[in-house]
Each structure stands twice: as structure tokens, then as C-alpha cells.
Chain A
Amino acid sequence: MADTKIIVNCETGEVSEVELTAEEIKQREADAIAYAKAKADEEQAAAEKAEAKAAIADRLGLTADELALLLG
């Protein structure tokens, strides 16, 4: 059985469960891939930023707590 979506018509109160069309399935798969990539890119950017911060702290001879205190 194909995946379904639930639609609530707020005007009539009618609730219906309908199968996704082939186009919707394709779009959903593309969205999931794009979302996963965007999240991975964001996580990588955050990790790189944290790494750069740690490297600066290291150069200054500070611990992460000391750096946080300094920046806070």
C-alpha cells in the first residue's frame, strides 16, 4: 500500500486520508535528501566553528571553560 497523507478541511470539518501521488512521492524523496544534506552541512559548519574556537583557545593557552568565561 502506498504512503498516505491526512487532510483536514477546516471549512467543512471533513478529514480524509489519501494516497500520495507518484509526483508527491518523488518530491518527498527529493525533499528528504535535500533536508538531510542541509542539516549535515549545518552540523559540519558548527563543528568546524567549534574546532576553530578550540584551536584559538589552545594557542592562547586557555581551557574551553576559561574561553567561555572570557567571551561571556
Chain B
Amino acid sequence: MATYIQIGSTVTVGAGGAANIEFTSIPSTYTDLVVKLSARNSSTDGAVKISFNGNSSTGTYRFLQGSGAAASSSNGSAFGYVGNETMSTDTASTFSSFEIYIPNAFGTTQKSISTDNVTENNGTTAYATMLATLVNLTSAITSLKLEPSANLFAQYTTASLYGILKS
């Protein structure tokens, strides 16, 4: 049975917002990594990116999405996209949720990431997204950065990192 162990501390963004959240010196004693992110953008940009080891990620993604009005699917290659965050135009004090699963995080193959993501809004549009991202990184992950594609993570955004031990 797999065991989840929290690595580092849960981070909560302060009043000034944060440009990014980075977990560094990640120990390679695990097989997989999981990031739990509760995020809101300080303005109206709705995308979150992930990158590793201090590099801008290159890779591709494919997603299935429901907006409350329509279902869609698409694919692309824009910089480690892992989903949508609640924006300042959405209902106040609501946050989007992400579970980002990174299997074989310390192997030498490209990193295949799956993300389960929902935004929150008391309105006609809020997104539920299942997303697969392939990141062109063939070395062990030592650091991991989460960032909005523009603006800042708003106050009370939180992020936690877990290591998975398989036994």
C-alpha cells in the first residue's frame, strides 16, 4: 500500500501575494510526488504552470473540461500548464483546487503528470478539468515551482507537497 508523507511545510501566501511557490531540495527517497494546491489569482489570469529544477518547462498537455455550460477537450504545448485557478472576477474568498500527481518523479524518463482541477465560482461558469501534462525532463526532480501564468497567487493560496512511498 502506498504511503503519503508530507515533504516540507504547507505554504500559505501572505497579504502581498506571491509570484510563485517553490519547493527546493526535494529528497529522492520517494517514488512519486503529489502537490495539493488551493489557489486564487490576484487578478484575472486563470492558468497555473508547473516547472522543475529551475527550468522553464517544455512539454505538452491534453485536457477534458466542463465549464458548467459546455464540455470541451483540447491540447497544446504552453509551458507546463496544469489547470485553471479561480480569478479575482470569481466569487470573493473562493479558491480553485488542484491535485497534481507526478509518478516516477526521480526517474530518467520524461515526467508524465496527471492533474485533477476545479475552479470555484457562484456564477454560470466554473471549470472542472482533467489534464495530462508531459514535461521534457529526463532527470530526477530536485525542485518544483508553481506559478500563475501572470499576476500573483492571491493571499491564502496554499500549497503542500507529498512524497509517495510504494511498498
Contact = CB atoms under 8 A, between A and B. Distances in A.
A11 B24 CA distance: 8
A62 interface: no
Contacts of A20: 19
B19 A17 contact: no
B47 A35 contact: yes
A13 B49 CA distance: 24
A35 B17 contact: no
Q: How large is the interface on A (under 10, 10 to 19, 20 to 34, 35 or more residues)?
A: 20 to 34
Interface in B58-78: 74, 76-78
A58 interface: no
A6 B16 contact: no
A59 interface: no
A5 B20 CA distance: 5
A28 interface: yes
Interface in B1-18: 7-9, 11, 13-14, 16-18
A5 B8 CA distance: 16
B28 to A, nearest CB: 11
Interface string A1-42: 101111111111101010010001000100110111011001
Interface of B: 7-9, 11, 13-14, 16-27, 45, 47, 49, 56, 74, 76-79, 149-150, 152, 161
29 contacts: A1-B16, A3-B16, A3-B17, A3-B152, A4-B16, A4-B17, A4-B19, A5-B21, A6-B13, A6-B20, A6-B22, A8-B22, A9-B24, A9-B25, A10-B8, A10-B23, A10-B24, A10-B25, A10-B26, A17-B14, A24-B19, A31-B56, A32-B149, A35-B47, A35-B79, A35-B150, A36-B150, A38-B76, A39-B76
Given A7-B24, A32-B45, A42-B74, 16 more contacts: A3-B18, A4-B16, A6-B18, A6-B21, A8-B11, A8-B22, A8-B23, A10-B8, A10-B25, A10-B26, A15-B8, A28-B19, A32-B149, A35-B79, A38-B78, A39-B78
